[in-house]
Amino acid sequence: MRISVSNLAWGAASHASALTLLSSHGVEGVEVAPTRIADWKALSPERLRAYRSEIEGAGLRVSSLQAIFFGRAEAKLLSDETAFRLMSEAHA
């Protein structure tokens, strides 16, 4: 069985120690909520690569993304065409 833990489970100040702890307990993956790394405007490809590198450096992998539309109330899958378009383009 593969075990993953969400990065919502710890605060930014505990990030490095959380990764070490997870790895030492047989956890294989981290479910990443992007806004836990930084707010949407501060997320850059470089910052995301660095975060992934930190996870992989601890012997873990990014197993999934979650909360990818958190704070984006206007982006909706099951709504009108405009809301769907906003969802589709939100992170392009």
Tens digit of each residue's pLDDT (9 = 90 or more) over 12-62: 899 999 999 999 999 999 999 998 999 888 889 999 999 999 999 999 999
Query: pTM here?
Result: 0.77
pLDDT at 9: 95
pLDDT digits 0-9 by tens, 66-81:
887 777 767 666 777 7
pLDDT at 32: 96
Q: Which residues pair with 4 in a beta bridge?
A: 29
pLDDT above 80 (res 83): no
Angle CA(73)–CA(76)–CA(78) in degrees, nearest 5? Answer: 145
Give backbone dihedrals phi and psi of 75, rounded to 5 degrees, phi first.
-95, 115
Domain regions of the chain by residue span: 4-89
pLDDT at 31: 96
